[in-house]
Amino acid sequence: MSVVSHLQEQINQSVAKHEESANTRETQRTRGAKVAGSLTVVAFLFGALLAVQLRAAQTVRANRNEQAKSFEAETQILKDTQSKLVEEAKNRAILQLKLSALQDKLKSGDVISHQQLASLNQQIKKLQVAAGLATVSGKGIVIKLSDNPNAAKDAVGAFLPGLVHDYDVLQVVNELRSAKADAIAVNKTRITGYTPIRCVGPVIYINWKPAAAPFVIEAIGDPDILSSAMKMPGGILENLTNQGLGVKVWSSNSLTLSASEGLPTVREAQAKS
């Protein structure tokens, strides 16, 4: 009986060890599965965060590139405008000198015929009109540029889209010049080659006087030609409308633009004989 008991005890111990080993392996497999699951979750979250970060970086780069292109375009527009104004200033200086010469000739008492006198007076009037020194009237168009009410309400900086800026007014004036407008005025200020339109801080100055939206731009000329030039697809007015500005255009059969306040003193330019 003692031998049988001893064998039975060994069998029981062997069975117990086998069960314990099986339980240990099962525990290890369970732990391994949990660790693998945890690693999978961590890897997924890490990948998701990395993808979000990469997408954000791409968006920032795209925005910076777009801002750089917009700044370059605006800089080129300002340079072109400056060149045109300088050229017009030179032309107006020459016209002013010619006008003075004609007036001096009249004052000198030279004997001229009535026909010559009438011709000189006519030339003087043309020079005054071209130089913006005479009040003029005629058919043309009117353009009204207004701030976007929402942009003005939520304004954060001076260059917030939806607000009328100095270069917006300049571009419209230049397009009207290109369309052969005879005379232009902005908020009743006659525009000439010596009229600056610029921004100082948040304020737009026209001929050194502060001006505010809405900006009413009047142009005398052929209404059909001026309207077609300003309303062309992809033109300045369409671009301003897409930026959220209020833009209105209408024709007028009777516009009157006052004369400018006069020419600045010509210091260096001299007419060649």
Within a domain: residue 44?
A: no
Within a domain: residue 179?
A: yes
Spatial distance between the Cα atoms of 129 and 108, rounded to a whole number of angstroms: 24
The total domain count for the chain is 1
Q: Does the structure show a pLDDT above 80 at 207?
A: yes
pLDDT tens across 130-149, in order? 777 889 999 999 999 998 88
Within a domain: residue 21?
A: no
Spatial distance between the Cα atoms of 40 and 28, rounded to a whole number of angstroms: 18
Within a domain: residue 30?
A: no
Within a domain: residue 255?
A: yes
pLDDT tens across 60-87, in order? 888 887 777 777 777 888 788 778 778 8
What's the full length of the chain, in residues?
Answer: 273
**Cα–Cα separations (whole angstroms), residue 52 to 56, 59, 235:** 6, 11, 38
pLDDT tens across 152-192, in order? 565 554 456 678 999 999 999 999 999 999 999 999 999 98
Specify the CATH number for the domain of residue 174. 3.30.70.1880
Within a domain: residue 238?
A: yes
**Phi and psi, residue 252, nearest 5°:** -140, 140
Enclosing domain of residue 172: 137-260
Spatial distance between the Cα atoms of 56 and 163, rounded to a whole number of angstroms: 28
